[in-house]
Structures are given as structure tokens and as C-alpha cells.
Amino acid sequence: MNEKKRATRRGTGGDELVFLALGGLGEIGMNAYLYGFGPEDRRRWLMVDCGITFPEGEFDPGIDVILPDVRFIEENRADLAGIVITHAHEDHIGAVIELWPRLKVPVYATPFTAGMLKSKLAEHGNGLQIPIDVIALDSQFNVGPFSIELFSLAHSIPEMSALAIRTPLGTVFHTGDWKLDATPTIGTPLNVARMQKLGDEGVLALVIDSTNAFREGISPSELDVARSLTEIVKDAPRRVAVTTFSSNVARVKAVAEAARAAGRQLVVAGRALHRVIEVAVDTGYLPQGFRYLDQDQFTYLDRKDVVLLCTGSQGEARAALARIAEEEHPDVSLDKGDLVIFSSRTIPGNEKAVGRIQNNLARNGCEILTDNEALVHVSGHPRRDELRQMYRWMRPKIAVPMHGEARHIKAQAELARDMGVSTVFPLTDGEILRLAPDPAVIDDAPVGRLFRDGRLLVTEAEGPVRERRKLSIVGVVAVSLCLSRKGAVLADPQAVIDGVPGENAEGEAMVDIVLDAVDGTLRSIPQQNRKNPELVGEAVRRAVRAAVNEAWGKKPICKVFVNVVDSK
């Protein structure tokens, strides 16, 4: 095996098939993958997915979501043939609206995925029109030089489509997110014969989901969860509230059926759930007669007659469950003895937010049930026995782990080797892998992250997020000086501190320490030198940082404003 081999030459001179991730290798989320075909200087490109990831709490202060930096393909957009979306989860579709204006190519999606994208466009697109080609399930179509065949796989959202990407140099099977589920409750079971046929045709490379590469065994079925939820709801003495990922239509259906089996009314709270239900009804995954009550009907129902389905499983501050837990929701409240089911698994990074909501619910006397106590959730990603089955079907010459942090990528690579794959490439974002001919890592592309900061997209290198991180640790001191053009001090210096302790250990005011440092510095600079405002500002900045550091043990961000005015 030649793992992560670096080529001694950049190209072969003829057609090449290459793979590149702009996101999704080294993180779970922000999936954006590129396949290139043709000579090195005339490649045509295919993008698979264009998703977001979420900020990591205090590490990304003020940031709403994180998007992949697509400057590499933006610079080559004339050669980008299109974007194919595997499914409608935000980490695969969430960046399309904001990044499409930089790429301006057709977007290909199956009916439910297209419906979700159109719904997002209607709500957040500000009139943007994106050409969306709606592709039938399990169909074949061409995008530039790539012949693509869709393979329906089970996941925690309808219409997860793996891609067989055929080229003259070989076929790549890009799994997307998937699991094996013989009883998925939404959609049809996997067509094993088609999978076997594809493997028999010959697969050059398997690009494969690594999320659960640590977990042995096989994931339970959605049908098992549905049965468990039905029993739990039947046995509950008071209200039942269920929170789950809004996109999990199978879980929405299971909760509705559990409510009906217990003779209860289903109440839905949360705009995202309403949007998903509407698209699911339009595309046939929920019946046209799917019945539920809106949240404004909640207070009219007896405590034994209601099942509440609400958003907020990941601790989102503005979602329904967070507002309910804070007792701030306008229509819904939960009381002592009510049962709250977290029919989801906490995404890494969201633990504190979810814990805060659960603690608030516990203080209000609610009972809390998670997947640690009962079968109320199953993952949409394959465990190791499911991964082994995929390797047996595909029998690839090359394995490329994707959709995972470094530890997941490593575990998947080891499993691939154990399954007899001859060449394994555990890559990171930006590495350009030549799949054929002569597999090797041949180059690096620029990659990074774009931060949605309010209404703006900023790169991580532009500075505001780094500055906020530092502000959260050391605070800021602002000093204002007023000097004449001849360098005379015309007024007493002023100082403001923010995020800095008000006093030192001896009780001396920190503002006084700052002003003493300013006064001492000004006295030490000859008036002739004070004619240079840049020199004065830098000297004062250094002195103030040193003085605060001596008093506090931390160096604050220090801003000095030198105002030069004409004096009589």
C-alpha cells in the first residue's frame, strides 16, 4: 500500500481524475468536495455538496455559521460544470445560497432536497434565483464530462443519494452520509443487487463516510426507534415533548404515529419543523392528510392529551425548546412531571448549550429522557460492520475517508486496510489527490473558512474573530490624548477600560494605574518628540499594556487615540 504518496512530478501530460475537499476532511460538517477530469491545465470540475458547519462556542465569538472558502474553484469557475447535492442536511446544502453567486452553475438535486433548497431560497434568498435541476431518484445524468448515477441509501433525512461518478479513467463511488437500514420507515430499503452490480463493474475509488468509524456493530433501525417512542408515549402520565432534528422526517412521522397510538394530539412548535413537514407532504413522504396542531393550540389541551414536537435538540438559543426551558415561549410551557425526550444525539461542540436547556427543564420539574436511557434515537451514519459491508460490495482499489475529524479519518483508513484495500489516502482539506492514473497526492489548493458575521461573510484571516477571541480573554483599554501641533498636552488624558478588573490586588483603581502610566510616559517624552503623534501613541500603548500586565498579570488590547489640534 502506498498511503498518502506524494508525486515526484505534478502531472502525467494526459487526462487525469483528481479529488479535492474544500471542507469535510478534518471536521464533521462543511462538506464541499471537488472532482476534476482532464489534463492538468484544462480540467473540468464537479462539486459535490456545499455545506456549513457551526461555530465552536467561545472559540468563534459572534459567528452564526461557518462556510467553506471556495476561492480555488471560484477562480476556476469557468471550468466548473455543476454542483450535485447528495441530501438536504445543512452541512451539505447550507452554504449553497450564499456561495452560489460566486460560482453561478447549475445545481442538481432530487425532489425533496430541491424542495428544501427552494424553501430556504424563499425565506433567506432575498430574491436570488438559482437554477435547480430536479433529478429523479436512482437516475443517471451527465454533468460536463462526468456520468453520474444516483444510489438511494438510508439516512436521517429523505433522499440521501450516493453517487457513482463514471469517467473514462474509472468510477468513483461517493457515499455521502448513509447507513444500512432494512426498515427505514421513510423511503425504500437499499437495492442490494444494484450495489453488487456496481462493485462487479469495478470501482476505482470509494470516498466514504467516516462519522461512526469507531463504533462496532450495526446501527439499530428507525423502525426500532418508532416502536420505542410509541411505548414511551403510551406509558407517560402527563405531557410528552419530543425534540429532534427538524429534517428527520422519519422521526417526525414516528412521533406523530406514537401520539395517535396513545390517543393524543400532536402539536408542532418551531418554524423549521413546519417547513420540513410542508416539503415532506409535497414530496409524498408524509401523507396529504398529515394532521397536527400549531403551538397556539397547546394551552387548550389537557396534559394527558398532548405530544409536543419542537425544535431545539442542539441547544439553539432561538429554537422553541430553549424558549420553553427559559419559560419565555409565548404559547408553550412545561410543568412538573412532564416528559421531555431528546430524540437526537448532541453534535460535538453543542454539549454546553444542550446541557443548559436540560438543566433548566430539570429545575422546572420536567423528566428528561435521552438516548443514554432509552432507544429514542439512532445515528444516520454507518458503524464498522456496515462499513465492512460497503467495502465488500464495492471492492475498491482506492479508499478515501471523508466526513470526519482527523481521528475518524484515521480509523476509517485503518478499517480500509483491514478490508484489503490496496491504496488508502487519509487526506486533509486542500490536498489534491490524483486518483488516476498513478494515484498520488500531487498538489495543494488554498482552503479555509468563511464566517457569517451578521450580514457579512468574512475570511478567518481578516481579523475580527481573532480580535474577539483575544478581547474575551484580556479585555481592552482605550486612551485618549489631546496634543497641540507643538507637542503640548492640552487636556488631561482620558481612559476607559472594558473587560479588565476595576482594581488591582491592593485595591488601587485600574483606571488610575492606566492614567499614571500615561502621565509618566508623556513626561518622559521631550516636547519636541511629542510632535510625532504616531511615536506618542505607540509609547503610551506599550506603557499602558506593561502597567496593566504588572497589576493584573495579563496584557490587554490597548487603543490610543492621539488628537492633534491647533492651539492659540
pLDDT digits (tens, 9 = 90+) for 486-525: 889 999 999 999 999 999 999 999 999 999 999 999 999 9
Same domain, 186 and 249: no
Instruction: Please write down the HEC assignment for all residues of 214-240.
Output: CCCCCCCCHHHHHHHHHHHHHHCCCCE
CA angle 161, 164, 169 (to 5 degrees): 160
The CATH number of whichever domain residue 308 belongs to comes to 3.40.50.10710
Indicate the SS3 state at residue 170.
strand
More confident: 15 or 125: 15
pLDDT tops 70 at residue 558: yes
Q: Give the CATH number of the domain where residue 559 resides.
A: 3.10.20.580
Amino acid (1-letter code) at residue 510:
M
Cβ–Cβ < 8 Å for 23, 51: yes
Please check whether residues 320 and 359 belong to one and the same domain.
yes
3-state secondary structure of 196: helix
| Same-domain check for residues 52 and 139 | yes
Quote the CA–CA distance of 84 and 49 in Å, as a whole number: 6
Q: Please say which residue of 405, 424, 455 terminates a domain.
A: 455
Tell me the average pLDDT of the chain. 93
Judged on CB neighbours under 10 Å (0-12, 13-18, 19+), 288 is exposed
In a domain, 11, yes or no: no
Is 9 a member of any domain?
no
* Closest to 56 in 3D by CA, of 30, 33, 32: 30
- Domain check: are 407 and 426 in the same one? yes
Bridge partners (DSSP) of residue 68 are: 449
What average pLDDT does this structure show over 57-63? 71
Residues 475 and 409 in one domain: no
pLDDT tens string 439-472: 999 999 999 999 888 888 888 777 677 788 888 8
What's the whole-number mean pLDDT along residues 36-59?
A: 90
How many domains does the structure of the chain reveal?
3
Task: Give the DSSP H or E segment for 341.
Answer: strand 339-342
CA distance 134 to 543: 64
What's residue 1's pLDDT? 40
Residue (of 121, 116, 75) closest to 97 by Cα position = 121
| CA 319 – CA 324 distance, rounded (Å) | 9
Give domain status of residue 4, yes or no.
no
pLDDT band at 346 (very low <50, low <70, confident <90, very high): confident
Residue at 10 is within a domain:
no
Residue 8 predicted with pLDDT over 60 = no
pLDDT tens per residue across span 384-431: 999 999 999 999 999 999 999 999 999 999 999 999 999 999 999 999
β pairing state of 293-294 and 265-269? parallel
The full DSSP string for 407-452 is HHHHHHHHHHHHTT-SEE----TTEEEEEESS-EEEEE----EEEE
Q: Return d(Cα 86, Cα 84) in angstroms, integer.
A: 6
Quick check: 5 pLDDT over 60?
Answer: no
In CATH, what number is assigned to the domain containing residue 409?
3.60.15.10
Highest mean pLDDT among 52-61, 117-126, 167-176, 310-319: 167-176
* DSSP code at position 53: B
Average pLDDT over every residue of 348-374: 93
pLDDT of residue 2: 45
- Which of 455, 475, 500 is the C-terminal boundary of a domain? 455
Q: For residues 186-200, give the mean pLDDT.
A: 95
Whether 167 shows a pLDDT value over 50: the answer reads yes
Query: Greater confidence, 62 or 504?
Result: 504
Mean pLDDT of 263-282: 96
Between the alpha carbon of residue 314 and those of residues 44, 66, 345, the distances in Å are 39, 16, 8
Q: Are residues 84 and 146 in the same domain?
A: yes
Q: Tell me: do 67 and 211 sit in the same domain.
A: yes
- The yes-or-no verdict on residue 567 having pLDDT over 70 is no
Q: Which of 440, 444, 544 is nearest to 8 (CA)?
A: 440
359 shares a domain with 250:
yes
| Residues 236, 207 within the same domain | no
- 3-state secondary structure at position 201: helix
Q: Which domain holds residue 109?
A: 16-217+379-455
pLDDT at 362 over 70: yes
Query: Which of 423, 455, 487 is a domain's end point?
Result: 455
Q: For 536-556, what is the mean pLDDT?
A: 96
474 shares a domain with 417: no
Kind and range of the H or E element at 38?
strand 32-38
81-113 residue pLDDT tens: 999 999 999 999 999 999 999 999 999 999 999
Nearest-angstrom CA–CA distance, 209 and 395: 16
Q: Are residues 407 and 423 both part of a single domain?
A: yes
100 within domain boundaries: yes
Is 8 a member of any domain?
A: no
Residues 73, 51 share a domain: yes
Q: What pLDDT shows up at residue 470?
A: 83
Dihedral sign of CA atoms 204, 398, 210, 84 in order: negative
H or E element in which residue 268 lies: strand 265-269
Per DSSP, what are the bridge partners of residue 242? 309, 341
Per-residue pLDDT at 466: 79
93 is a domain residue: yes
Are β-strands 16-23 and 32-38 bridged in parallel, bridged antiparallel, or unpaired? antiparallel
Q: Is residue 241 part of a domain?
A: yes
